[in-house]
């Protein structure tokens, strides 16, 4: 499959559509929390990190992997925007899609690590500050690459060897 790099506006539109789904999931998690659902953590930050990852980041990663590795080669947002994820002009393998989305969601995971420590342990900046700095650095590099590169490849595309293209007619 060959095609033109996805226009910036359509990539942003696809991101917006996907964030609507993600926000829906997060609202469900927030409602469950407000209704009293509290996974046991035993007071351990590591367990809390795993629970937060398992309830928020992991389901989103599974959604992105399943949709982009599927026959449509696109998440719901990308399908609505007329985009597909490719590798060397063809279908990306499952491994590439898994790596692509792990790198894409890494800043979110790093933000969780930082925020949990800022909220629960006063002065625990040994992990929180580097995690937050790395989070913002990765987001900045990702956005800069997607805006400045001719092929509009973001960091996760470069790492995984994927590209987002317009869906051929």
Q: Is residue 137 part of a domain?
A: yes
Average pLDDT, the chain: 93
Question: Does residue 3 lie in a domain region?
Answer: no
**pLDDT tier, 121 (very low <50, low <70, confident <90, very high otherwise):** confident
1 is a domain residue: no
Over the stretch 54-81, which tens digit does the pLDDT of each residue have? Answer: 999 999 999 999 999 999 999 999 999 9
SS3 72: coil
pLDDT over threshold 70, residue 49: yes
Q: Is residue 71 part of a domain?
A: yes
Whole-structure pTM value: 0.91
pLDDT at 124: 76
Distance between CA atoms of 22 and 27, rounded to whole angstroms?
9
Q: Check pLDDT > 60 for residue 1.
A: no
The whole-angstrom separation of Cα 50 and Cα 44 is 10
CB count within 10 Å of CB 38 equals: 8
Three-state secondary-structure class, residue 154: coil
Q: How many domains does the chain have?
A: 1
Domain coverage including residue 56: 8-166
Residue 2 within a domain: no
In a domain, 159, yes or no: yes
């Amino acid at each position: 499959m060959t095609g033109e790099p996805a226009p910036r506006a359509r990539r942003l539109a696809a991101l917006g559509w996907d964030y609507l789904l993600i926000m829906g999931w997060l609202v469900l998690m927030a409602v469950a929390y407000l209704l009293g659902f509290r996974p046991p953590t035993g007071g351990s930050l590591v367990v809390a990190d795993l629970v937060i990852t398992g309830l928020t980041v992991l389901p989103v990663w599974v959604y992105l992997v399943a949709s982009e590795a599927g026959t449509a080669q696109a998440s719901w947002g990308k399908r609505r925007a007329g985009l597909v994820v490719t590798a060397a002009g063809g279908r990306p393998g499952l491994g590439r899609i898994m790596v692509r989305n792990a790198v894409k969601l890494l800043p979110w995971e790093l933000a969780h690590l930082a925020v949990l420590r800022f909220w629960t342990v006063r002065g625990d900046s040994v992990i929180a500050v580097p995690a937050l700095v790395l989070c913002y650095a990765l987001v900045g590099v990702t956005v800069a690459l997607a805006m400045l590169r001719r092929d509009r490849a973001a960091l996760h595309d470069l790492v995984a060897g994927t590209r987002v293209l317009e869906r051929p007619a």
